[in-house]
């Protein structure tokens, strides 16, 4: 087990970067990190031509995220996907999915798999349930 510590009031970009790796599945304990981890992830600008994906357990989490990102000062563009909005473009730098929408769009996502930088499964405990 690798422990990563962040002693700042807010999670630093360096800490976020340490939590992701190619072909690596890491678990972040949000009891320790709090909600700041998701916010820092959503603010992270992926490398040019890449996208970050966040998967949420339900529509309410995605709706809350959609409202929250309006306050962020970042160059990211965001798209939010619900079961009834799966025909949207995948051209944003950050894609936020309800779990069932992510599954419904698996073929489209497979086509752009080389553009995916990071994937965050938010509230994984709720998704497992």
Task: Read off the pTM.
Answer: 0.86
Which residues form the domain of 101?
A: 13-128
- Is there a domain that residue 17 lies in? yes
Q: Could you give the 3-state DSSP secondary structure of residue 117?
A: strand
Q: Taking 90 as the threshold, does the pLDDT of residue 81 lie above it?
A: yes
- Is there a domain that residue 6 lies in? no
Q: Starting at the edge strand that comes first in sequence, how are the strands of the sheet with 94-98 ordered?
A: 78-81, 94-98, 51-56, 116-121
- Is there a domain that residue 50 lies in? yes
Average pLDDT on 6-24 reads: 80
Encoding tokens for residue 116? 């995916």
Report the C-alpha gap between 129 and 117 in whole angstroms: 26
What are the residues whose beta carbons fall under 8 Å from the beta carbon of 70, sequence distance 6 or more?
none
Average pLDDT on 92-103 reads: 93
Q: Which of residues 54 and 82 earns the better pLDDT score?
A: 54
- Is there a domain that residue 32 lies in? yes
The pLDDT value recorded for residue 28 is 73
Using DSSP bridges, classify how beta strands 116-121 and 51-56 pair: parallel, antiparallel or unpaired.
parallel
Report the C-alpha gap between 126 and 98 in whole angstroms: 12
- Is there a domain that residue 8 lies in? no
Place of tokens 């992510």: 102
**Where residue 78 sits, what CATH number does that domain have?**
3.40.50
- Is there a domain that residue 93 lies in? yes
- Is there a domain that residue 114 lies in? yes
The pLDDT value recorded for residue 35 is 63
Encoding tokens for residue 57? 């357990």
- 48-63 pLDDT, tens digit each: 999 999 998 888 989 9
Q: Binning pLDDT at 50, 70 and 90, where does residue 17 land? A: confident
- Is there a domain that residue 62 lies in? yes
Could you give the number of structural domains in the chain? 1
- Provide the CA 72 distance to its chain's centre, in angstroms: 15
Report the C-alpha gap between 78 and 66 in whole angstroms: 8
Q: Which of residues 108 and 8 earns the better pLDDT score?
A: 108
């Amino acid at each position: 087990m690798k422990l990563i510590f962040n002693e700042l009031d807010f999670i630093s970009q360096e800490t976020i970067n340490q939590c992701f790796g190619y072909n690596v599945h890491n678990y972040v304990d949000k009891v320790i990190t709090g909600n700041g981890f998701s916010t820092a992830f959503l603010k992270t600008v992926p490398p040019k031509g890449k996208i970050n994906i966040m998967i949420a357990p339900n529509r309410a989490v995605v709706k809350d995220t959609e409202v929250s990102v309006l306050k962020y000062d970042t160059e990211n563009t965001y798209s939010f996907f619900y079961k009834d909005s799966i025909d949207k473009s995948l051209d944003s730098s950050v894609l936020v999915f309800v779990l069932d929408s992510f599954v419904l769009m698996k073929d489209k996502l497979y086509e752009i798999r080389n553009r995916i930088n990071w994937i965050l499964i938010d509230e994984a405990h709720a998704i497992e349930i």
